Structure 1
Amino acid sequence: MTTEPEVLLERRGEAGIITLNRPKALNALTHAMVREIDPQLRAWARDDGVSRIILKATGERAFCAGGDVRHIYDLGRAGHQDQSLAFFRDEYVLNHLIGTYPKPYVSLIDGICMGGGFGLSAHGSYRVGGERYLFAMPEVNIGLFPDVGGTHVLPRLPKASGIYLAFTGARIKAADALHFGLLTHAVPSARLPALEAALVAGGDVAATLAAHAHDPGPAPALEHEAFVAEAFGHGDVLAVLEALDAAAAGTSASADFARDTASSLRGKCPTSLMLAAEQMRRGPNLDLAGCLQAEFRVVTRVLHGHDFYEGVRALLVDKDNAPRWQPDRLEHIDPAVIAAHFDPIPDELVFPIGPS
């Protein structure tokens, strides 16, 4: 029986092309995929015949639905956190490589883009969304936190939209993502093959993207944008909830939205929410490397804790949707414990110098 490769790497025209190739698994990112992509990107950086990178995926449902959290769960339950951390270490190094890549890096995102898929695309030069684009960072649902550089990207989005996405795990489509700046262009799904062919042929990347782009229509987020900016601009989770509760008790146009959002937040992992808030506070003062180093410190501690395994158990293993978080209330969380997640660790994340 022939096993399909998990990732396809090819040189075509002026482009180095990476194709995520696990459509039945929603192109979830594995350690093996990371280990294949990283050295090839470094080789293409040195290849004068490659003038741009194209990242895409097979299948119509997902670009990349995240990392393989069930595998990470199984490793941790067996006491092999070191293997899980090796994956995160290599993944974060790859995220940094993408964010500092010396050539245009174009992601063609048509389908679900979450977690690890965000890490593979968000730090590149250009992010193109098709009609099936669906983005979320839902880590707070499973006792994790919005990593893979979320600390760098999300707090820099306008009008507290990134804080809203980090806290709620809300799903958004291309129009909202373009409005927020997560996408640089929107292109109809049917035109993505023509865009890829044009990129392969060479020429100015920005001009090629502009020639194929279209207007996906008004962003639905505009309806509550001013309210989100005010409520989530606090950054502090308890202050956000207080603002949401106050609005929910009123008669403004955002009352129902505030009520639903507050209810959603109260269903998230309390420690994850507090970690996300600390990420959003620290991120604006750190470069991408600093953000990823901070995230590696946090994930090292999270993988040796309780909530991640409980969240995955409740949502993905037993599927009872009844996680028993520790602590189980935001008010019971010690801010010093959250801050300590970001303290230095003996085996810090370090990055190779340059793309070689």
Structure 2
Amino acid sequence: MIIKENLSKSVAALTLNRAESLNALNRPLIHSLQTHLKDLENDQNIMAIVLKSSISKAFCAGGDIIEVCQDIRHNKVSEAHQFFKEEYGLHILLRGMKTPVIAVAEGFSIGGGLGLLNSCAYRIVTETSQVSMPEALIGFFPDVGASNYLSASEFGLFLGLSSQRIKAADILLCNLADYYIPSQSIKELLNFLSTVASENFTQLLQQKLKYLDQKENLKPGPLTENKKFIREVCSAKNIENFDKQLHLYKGEDPWILKAIENFNYSSKHSLKFIFKQLKQKRDWLGNAKKLFDKEYKMATYFVKHPDLLEGVRALLEDKDKKPSWKEKSYQQIVISEEIFN
């Protein structure tokens, strides 16, 4: 599941290799990644770790939520809880590492895949990169650190509620990556890492990344093109008002129209929760341990709600795209502030 190789005496590469599931993180893959990261962190010769995918189509499709739902259906709720505990533990490890991890996120980074990218020290996207947090479509919530990195962006609320995909220009606009390096230059970066001297390593690495970075050549994406409308929608004081403002759209931009389609499909319970999750700044957002403790609390809350099983069934298992959500209106939904405190 993980291919480990030494690019040089001072740089190692870990390649996600669960291609059949687009590198979706199940517990064995999480365990393997944690073990390799800990071993490399303890190796005094290793100055940096490259994290990449064995396939160009996807960096990581997120947590394996189908396996989680299978556990829930078989009354193995403790196993479902354990999955989230271990997944979030991986992110606490990544964020606390002294050895920097360089993520090369070609292709899709979905849900927990975007979280994986954002827990790394250096975050690289290419012309093939696409990211999204589509949890509302399956009756869940944006986790793996999204409480922090989505609430920190002026567009994060819109992304969390619309489940819409964005590409390199908008990924960088939302501060969800640091560098745009065309795919043809990734090999040059890896060759550099295989030969760079360990002396002044960090300085040389940063200089190379800056040299290869082509973000100035990117054309603005749909977030920039629609920022006036998005800002108006996101100024809403509650989910009901957000819903109303969103549906006032009179334009023809297919990206916005798809965002509205996604929103209309989504679990109203998830939408109301996500609005509360991302709209308010919270004092625990800047502390990794507290952040993932809170998100674990949120995840166990969602495990008990029927929309998660139904959402996964409709979109990922039966794929009929006809979910029967528990609540049909926002007024039926009560979400306690205690969950966030």
TM-score strictly above 0.5: yes
* Aligned-residue offset at 1:256: 8.1
Higher mean alpha-carbon deviation, 258-267 vs 320-329, is at: 258-267
1 CA distance for matches of 2:220 and 2:64? Answer: 31
Cα pair 2:164 2:259 within 8 Å, conserved = no
Cα pair 1:16 1:53 within 8 Å, conserved = yes
- Structure 2 SS opposite 1:131: coil
How do 1:81-96 residues align onto structure 2 when only pairs under 5 Å count?
81-96=77-92
- Structure 1 SS opposite 2:55: coil
Cα 1:12–1:262 shift into 2, 3 Å: closer
1:208 aligned onto 2:208: yes
1:269 partner letter: S
Alignment partner for residue 183 of structure 1, among 177, 186, 197?
177
1:100 aligned onto 2:101: no
Aligned length: 330
1:159-216 deviation per Cα after TM superposition (whole angstroms, max 9, x unaligned)? x211111111110111111122111111111211221221233332211111212135
1:289-328 deviation per Cα after TM superposition (whole angstroms, max 9, x unaligned)? 2221111001112112211001011112222211111112
Cα pair 2:181 2:213 within 8 Å, conserved = yes
1:165 aligned onto 2:167: no
Cα 1:35–1:282 shift into 2, 3 Å: farther
1:65-117 deviation per Cα after TM superposition (whole angstroms, max 9, x unaligned)? 11211111111110112112111101101112212222322100110101221
How do 1:321-340 residues align onto structure 2 when only pairs under 5 Å count?
321-336=321-336, 339-340=337-338
Structure 2: gaps (5+ residues): none
Cα pair 1:130 1:187 within 8 Å, conserved = yes
Structure 1: gaps (5+ residues): 1-5, 344-356
Name the counterpart of 2:16. Answer: 20
2 CA distance for matches of 1:182 and 1:261? Answer: 19
* Aligned-residue offset at 1:223: 0.8
Name the counterpart of 1:140. Answer: 136
1:7 aligned onto 2:2: yes
Cα pair 1:167 1:273 within 8 Å, conserved = yes
1:294 partner letter: K
How do 1:296-315 residues align onto structure 2 when only pairs under 5 Å count?
296-315=296-315
2 CA distance for matches of 1:256 and 1:9? Answer: 41
Alignment partner for residue 56 of structure 2, among 50, 53, 60?
60
2 CA distance for matches of 1:231 and 1:114? Answer: 24
1:138 partner letter: P
Cα 1:294–1:191 shift into 2, 3 Å: same
Cα pair 2:151 2:281 within 8 Å, conserved = yes
* Aligned-residue offset at 1:152: 1.1
Cα 1:256–1:209 shift into 2, 3 Å: closer
Higher mean alpha-carbon deviation, 128-137 vs 191-200, is at: 191-200
1:149 aligned onto 2:145: yes
Name the counterpart of 1:316. Answer: 316
Name the counterpart of 1:72. Answer: 68
1:110 aligned onto 2:106: yes
1:47 aligned onto 2:47: no
Cα 1:319–1:255 shift into 2, 3 Å: closer
2 CA distance for matches of 1:83 and 1:8? Answer: 27
1:315 partner letter: L
Alignment partner for residue 233 of structure 1, among 221, 235, 241?
235
2 CA distance for matches of 1:82 and 1:22? Answer: 25
Cα 1:78–1:242 shift into 2, 3 Å: same
CA RMSD of aligned residues (A): 2.1
